[in-house]
Amino acid sequence: MTDDAEEQGWATAKTLAEALPYIQIYDREVVTIKYGGHAMGEESVAKLFAADAVLLKMLGVHPVVVHGGGPQISRMLDKAGVKSTFIDGLRVTDEATMEVAEMVLSGAINKEIANWITLAGAEADVRGVGLSGKDARLITVEKAHRTKKDPDSQIEQVVDLGYVGEPTRIDPKLIEALIYAEEDYIPVVAPIGVSVEGETYNINADTVAGALAGALNAKRMLLLTDVRGVLDKNGELIRQMTLAEAREAIASGVATGGMIPKLETAIAAVESGVEAVVILDGRRPHAMLTELFTEHGSGTLIRA
């Protein structure tokens, strides 16, 4: 054995020794993963994500993937000539927009992610299964209600976002049947739900991931996005936050823009029973493995 080969062997053994305690911690535990529209990136990034999800399953973890797709929906709406309207950054989802959103989310994106997982897991017989919240009434929703202040009168006004829903009930039986089956399945869930009356609604994917994580009593929820995590006023990564600190970050303006709903989702998930939520950069190679199986992780961890 050459010196280089011996050094590589020692490095591999050291990595395994460091990871083993964490592998045992997550053995047979559910980890819910929000795979964001911007974090999907290029095909090579998607393939790497799929391979890491398969590896989690092979290590005894039960990953459940929830994906977004805002940029992809916007591109398809443009192609279809459907004009989008936004209120305070939230897309108003009329009937035409809802049809396109369901086609993109439950169709192209959902099946592509499930297929990448199946291809990555071919040798280990790990397979991705594409679902939406409409399947087996996995996600029951009600119409979302938002308010905004009139800039002149400062009076709160109700904003109609159309077919945008909020989960009111999660029935996890279908997901549990898949993750605890003798075969190795990884559910991939599109953020589409159905009302009691049978109407289809688009749901924020972060919200779906949080609601599923709570219903499945997940050990961890990973919010993969396109930033490192929550940054302080100096632009440095905040490694850990309590719920109180997360609320303070929102109130003080440390968290801005799209980070606010992510922190709100994290807070709600932890309050519903999830042990901890991590916001991390899904574009970084092996970000999930680094977060779960190393001492320092790779993002911002929020816990009670």
Residue 112 has what pLDDT? Answer: 93
Give the CA distances from residue 215 to residues 8, 63, 170, 270, in Å, rounded to whole numbers and listed in that order.
43, 14, 6, 11
Q: Which residues pair with 303 in a beta bridge?
A: 242, 276
Domains of the chain: total: 1
Find out whether 204 is annotated in a ligand binding site: no
The C-alpha atoms of residue 128 and residue 120 are separated, in whole angstroms, by: 10
User: b/e string for 4-28 if b means 16 or more Cβ within 10 A?
Assistant: eeeeeeeeeeeeeeebeebeeebee
Reduced to 3 states (helix: H, G, I; strand: E, B; else coil), residue 68 is coil
> Would residue 20 count as lying in a domain?
no
Segments forming the whole domain that contains residue 245: 25-303
Is 234 known as a binding-site position?
no
Distance (Å, whole) CA 5 – CA 146 = 60
Can you list the pairs that 244-251 forms with residues at least 24 positions away whose Cβ atoms lie under 8 Å? 246/302
The predicted structure's pLDDT at residue 250:
93
In a domain, 9, yes or no: no
Query: Rounded to whole angstroms, how far apart are CA atoms 25 and 291?
Result: 13
For the chain, residues with pLDDT lower than 70 are 1-3, 5-6, 9, 11-15, 37-39, 41, 88-90, 149-154
In a domain, 207, yes or no: yes
Burial category of 126 from C-beta neighbours within 10 Å (exposed 0-12, middle 13-18, buried 19 and up): buried
Q: How does the average pLDDT of the chain come out, rounded?
A: 90
- Domain assignment present for residue 278? The answer is yes
Question: What pLDDT does residue 152 have?
Answer: 67
What CATH number does the domain containing 94 carry? 3.40.1160.10
Q: What is the pLDDT of residue 256?
A: 87
Backbone angles phi, psi at 234, to 5 degrees: -95, 5
Cα–Cα distance, 65 to 105 (Å, whole number): 13
pLDDT in tens, 15-41: 677 888 888 999 999 999 999 855 676
User: Is 3 within a domain?
Assistant: no
Q: Is 69 marked as a binding-site residue?
A: yes
Determine, yes or no, domain membership for 6.
Answer: no
Angle at 113 between CA 223 and CA 239, to 5 degrees: 15
pLDDT of residue 258: 82
Residue 14 lies in a domain: no
Task: Tell me how far apart the alpha carbons of residues 208 and 170 are, in angstroms, rounded to a whole number.
Answer: 9
pTM over 0.85: yes
Is 303 marked as binding a ligand?
A: no
pLDDT at residue 53, rounded to an integer: 97
- What pLDDT shows up at residue 89? 62
Q: Which of 130, 120, 135 lies closest to 44, judged by CA? A: 120
Residue 19 lies in a domain: no
